[in-house]
Amino acid sequence: MHDGATGSGLSSAAILEQIGASLTRLGTDYVDLYQIHRFDPTTPAGETMQALHEVVAAGKARYLGASSMWAWQFSKMQYTAQLHGWTGFVVDAGPVQLDGA
């Protein structure tokens, strides 16, 4: 991350610049999981999800993840991807074990 328009946030330019920088730092062509964190209220969900889809379509990431946002924000982004046929976030709704068994 750095100062400037593409140094943070979830704009298309920022996502594409940052995945490239991450791959360079890691010395690899792709990552298994590319995860965003905080919702960016200044960037339309469609722009973010289309850019993330482009990352997967280009083979730079296999899966997408998200964290640290309200459920409605996550839902809005996931729905936007679904609506346009873009790659969405990986969701595992498998069984939850509360007793540690």
d(CA 13, CA 16): 5
Write phi, then psi, for 70 (nearest 5 degrees): -65, 155
Query: For the segment 18-34, what is each residue's pLDDT rounded down to a tens digit?
Result: 999 999 999 999 999 99
For the chain, give every domain's residue range. Answer: 12-84
CA dihedral of residues 45, 46, 52, 56 (deg, nearest 10): 140
Q: Which of 60, 59, 48, 41 is nearest to 86 (CA)?
A: 48
Query: For the segment 30-49, what is each residue's pLDDT rounded down to a tens digit?
Result: 999 999 999 999 999 999 99
Tokens 């899966």 sit on residue: 63
Residues above pLDDT 70, as percent of the chain = 82
d(CA 61, CA 51): 12
Query: For the segment 79-96, what is each residue's pLDDT rounded down to a tens digit?
Result: 999 999 999 999 755 555
